[in-house]
Amino acid sequence: MAKAYLGLGSNLGDKKTNVTTALEMLYKNPLIEVLKISSFYETEPIGFKEQDWFLNVVVKVETLVEPYKLLSFCQAIEDHLQRKRLIRWGPRTMDVDVLLYENFSSEDPILTIPHPRMTERAFVLVPLEEIEPDLEIKGQRIGEFLNKLEDAHIKRVD
């Protein structure tokens, strides 16, 4: 089994219900074991700013599903929650990204791992550091990437 890290986010509809539903779908998949879930974080949108803030969470899983099939399952979760891809970085009911996958890296535009912008985004790094503070990405600890970020608007929610 391989360990993987997923980033989940929602800023349309009932955000907490959307994220919770996505988590339930991960739990129900017999080929995926959820190991850790970060706290929920409210985060400012990136790119297209004229939208609601996001609710984000990072999940550590162990899985028998190979990386491309894991991506397909993540997209099925998005589809189940009626995600529409209308504007790049625009509002969405659900976004599920494969951030990291143990012993796997890829430059494929369909699935790039590590996720190409994860080290620039507090909404990924802060919850990821919460559940895995010693994790290294490309030979650097998460805290090193966080120290390079400008003031990010992110707050932990209950």
Residues annotated as part of the active site: 83, 92, 95, 97
Contact criterion met (CB below 8 Å) for 105 and 118: no
Q: How far is CA 22 from the centre of its chain?
A: 11
Tell me the C-alpha to C-alpha distance, in Å, between residue 32 and each of 37, 59, 77, 92, 156. 14, 11, 14, 24, 26
Residue 99 sits at φ, ψ, to 5 deg, of: -85, -50
d(CA 112, CA 58): 17
